[in-house]
Amino acid sequence: MREDGKIDYLELPASATVTVKAFYGQAFGWTFQDYGPTYAAFSEGLDGGFDADSENHSPVPLPVLYAHDLEAMQAKVKAAGGVIVRPIFAFPGGRRFHFRDPAGTELAVWSEG
């Protein structure tokens, strides 16, 4: 069961999903679910995905937390001193927002639907 504020997903940058899928498939036996030509999701202990869309991905891994109520969690992040860098937006599978913590680390929070 998903819980508020817990790491739920890890998004990793990729220059090309074909190359990274071949590597992780061969080296570790991972399998993938493609969501278009620039995104490949995996479920290998921790759910995650490789993002090859240069306009959307960060050059570093993006930890993604979960929230049942996305608007309420965004308000809590702001109140705690987080800086919203991408307000709530829709993506295939749900909605999310990105923020920076006081150390400057970017994270995201997502919710279904």
Domains belonging to the chain, first-starting first, are 7-111 (3.10.180.10)
pLDDT in tens, the chain (113 residues): 789 999 999 999 888 899 999 999 999 999 999 999 999 999 998 999 999 886 666 678 999 999 999 999 999 999 999 999 999 999 988 999 999 999 899 999 999 97
**pLDDT at position 54:** 63
**Cα–Cα distance for residue pair 15/101, rounded to 1 Å:** 26
**pLDDT at position 92:** 87
Q: What token pair was written down for 97?
A: 């927002």
**pLDDT at position 48:** 94
**pLDDT at position 1:** 78
Q: What is the pTM of this model?
A: 0.86
